[in-house]
């Protein structure tokens, strides 16, 4: 079973509200952000990259907040890094982020909306890979065949495609009032899959 308590985060502090986003969106709004946040933590547990996953989780919290439309956009990541990170850095620091972590979060949020890959030996590669794969695992919301596994970077992400689909189907048409509620849904999926 997934133990999200290892990250030492009070998830009640990470509930989202529509006014935090620069545009209202079903595609890139609260439920999408919650699912990406959850995928970051889950991928961290599956890969043993806890620090990277925690920073990716912080990045996921703000990654789409600065979007102005739902179309293809390469600048919303940089906009979120420049305009949203300063608003939430105190929150992130209260759960362990230091200045180096904040710099990594700024970079991965900026890079997440760019199509090009960074070098595998880059210091931020693992953290960015978690964020980008977590974001990609929620592409099911765009259409059944919108997630191309060829673009996933980690084996753990490939092994999480079915989980990602199930998480989307269970939350898409249901109100999710908190991140902890999404964790409960995820735990239920994990419990049911372990029975099979």
Distance (Å, rounded) from C-alpha 143 to C-alpha 129?
A: 22
- The Cα diameter of the chain in Å comes to 45
Note the pLDDT tens digit of each residue in 31-88: 999 999 999 999 999 999 999 999 999 999 999 999 999 999 999 999 999 999 999 9
pLDDT value at residue 27: 77
Query: Exposure string (b/e) for 29-44, b if CB count within 10 Å is 16 or more?
Result: bbbbbbbbbbbbbbbb
Note the pLDDT tens digit of each residue in 120-135: 999 999 999 999 999 9
- Shortest CA distance to 163 belongs to which of 138, 195, 196? 138
The reply to whether 122 falls in a domain is yes
The reply to whether 14 falls in a domain is no
Give me the domain span that covers residue 139: 24-195
Residue 113, domain CATH: 1.10.3210
The reply to whether 166 falls in a domain is yes
The reply to whether 8 falls in a domain is no
Total structural domains within the chain = 1
The reply to whether 143 falls in a domain is yes
The reply to whether 7 falls in a domain is no
The reply to whether 96 falls in a domain is yes
Averaged pLDDT, 84-100: 98
The reply to whether 87 falls in a domain is yes
């Amino acid at each position: 079973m997934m133990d999200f308590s290892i990250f030492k985060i009070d998830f009640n502090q990470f509930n989202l509200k529509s006014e935090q986003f620069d545009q209202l969106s079903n595609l890139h709004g609260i439920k999408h952000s919650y699912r990406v946040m959850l995928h970051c933590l889950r991928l961290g547990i599956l890969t043993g990259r806890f620090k990277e996953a925690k920073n990716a989780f912080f990045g996921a919290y703000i990654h789409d907040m600065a979007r102005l439309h739902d179309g293809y956009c390469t600048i919303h990541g940089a906009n979120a890094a420049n305009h949203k990170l300063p608003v939430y850095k105190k929150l992130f620091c209260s759960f362990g982020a230091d200045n180096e972590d904040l710099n990594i979060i700024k970079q991965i949020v900026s890079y997440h909306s760019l199509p090009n890959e960074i070098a595998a030996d880059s210091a931020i590669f693992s953290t960015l890979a978690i964020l980008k794969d977590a974001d990609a695992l929620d592409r099911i919301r765009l259409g059944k065949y919108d997630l191309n596994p060829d673009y996933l970077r980690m084996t753990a992400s490939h092994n999480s495609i079915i989980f990602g689909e199930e998480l989307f189907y269970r939350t898409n048409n249901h109100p999710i009032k908190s991140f902890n509620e999404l964790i409960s849904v995820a735990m239920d999926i994990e419990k049911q899959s372990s029975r099979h």
